[in-house]
Amino acid sequence: MRRPLHTMIVMGTRPEVMKLAPVALALQAKPSQFRVTLVGTGQHRSLVPQHLKLFGLQLDHDLKVMKPRQTLAEITSRTMMRMDQLLAAEPPEVLMVEGDTTAVLVAGLAAFYRRIPVAHVEAGLRSGDIYNPFPEEINRRLVGGLAEVHFSPTDQAKRNLRRENVAADRIFVTGNTAIDALLYAAQRPPRRPALPARVLAGRRLVLVTAHRRESWDQGIRQICLALGDLAARFPDVVIVYAVHPNPIVRETAEEVLSGRERVHLIPPPGYAEFVDLMKRCYMILTDSGGIQEEAPCLGKPVLVMRRTTERIEGVRAGCAELVGPGRERIVARASALLTDRSLYQRMAAPRNPYGDGKAALRIRAALAYHFGLSRRRPADFHP
């Protein structure tokens, strides 16, 4: 009888934890087939443990690569050295990564150097611009070049990989595990609300996240100025900005928005608490990739404050709009949603091209099939 497939799952940021936790749980539910090792890189150190706890998970290894204000080159070199040391000491049969962070690229490259197969979750997303988002677009292209098996969330992502000559038999369309995590968390009430109910009494909540590296120069400032404009223009609106802990983002947000009436700057809440905010909000302004996937499931319109998006399916479905990081455009389109009821209702109709909550099960089945634990290839996800 074949021993369980040793699968090492690498996660560092909050989005990686949320998208890989359902996969870890699905693999752990089949101990005769899979042995799971969870590795953290040390990014989002204050956030990762609480998010893992929601799923009843904990890390087996923490690479502790993060230091304040370090450069991408420093992150890359520290992650490579520590990941290589771990792979030498405890080599898995497959290394699983998710998404497009620098740590994902480096962990995949370290595994490739040791001839360990790489499985890429959320494979095939492309914006078409190597500098937007930066450095994520080039990270995922490079991971796509070295991965052995690709778990694409949508048919569009699969088509992107096929155009890059990835063999069709190595691509599985699974849906996005972000929806698995969202549905899991939505069933669990938060320990305490991220915002007291009295703050929202009789008002509409506009929920905001903004942290992209390509916006660090002027984009974050423009976004914050737009939020101030919206708060001044709409007395019935409360703006809640979950501020990323990066010092550049936090300092800009505090400089521009501290003390503004009906603007609340909060630290990133736990995932259950954030899902609760999404459920209660009127609309979402974000530059996050994951939230673009989650919000349509809850019937919340999304304005994407980026120049490009690799998640074009939501835009095509009409539940998201690409507005960029400019102050005037953000204010104009948010104002339209806050004043035009028919526009709002068109964007808010619940529909989700990204998943059905069963992506982790499809990934487990695909992993078993690809590595010879099962003879049956799982069917692809179609919305």
Domains 5-176+355-370 and 197-348 share a fold: yes
pTM score, whole prediction? 0.87
Percent helix / strand / coil, the chain, rounded to 5: 45, 15, 40
What value, to the nearest 5°, has the Cα angle with vertex 118 and ends 114 and 121?
Answer: 155
Sheet containing strand 34-40, edge to edge, reads 61-62, 34-40, 5-11, 94-98, 118-121, 149-152, 171-173
In the chain, where the domains are located: 5-176+355-370, 197-348
Q: Which CATH number fits domain 5-176+355-370: 3.40.50.2000, 3.90.1150.10, 3.90.870.10, 3.40.50.720?
A: 3.40.50.2000
Using only C-alpha atoms, what is the Rg of the chain? 20
Q: Please, are residues 37 and 61 in contact by the beta-carbon 8 Å criterion? A: yes
3-state secondary structure of 25: helix
- pLDDT tens-digit profile, the chain (383 residues): 679 999 999 998 888 999 999 999 999 999 999 999 999 987 656 667 777 888 999 999 999 887 777 788 998 999 999 999 999 999 999 999 999 999 899 999 999 999 999 999 999 999 999 998 889 999 999 999 999 999 999 999 999 999 999 999 999 999 999 999 999 988 887 777 777 778 888 899 999 999 877 767 788 999 999 999 999 999 999 999 999 888 888 999 999 999 899 999 999 888 888 999 999 999 999 998 889 999 998 999 999 999 888 899 999 989 999 999 999 999 999 999 999 999 999 999 867 889 999 999 999 999 999 999 999 999 999 98
Closest Cα partner for 249 from 278, 214, 281? 214
The catalytic residues are: 100, 122, 136, 211, 213, 244
Write down the CATH superfamily of domain 197-348.
Answer: Glycogen Phosphorylase B; (3.40.50.2000)
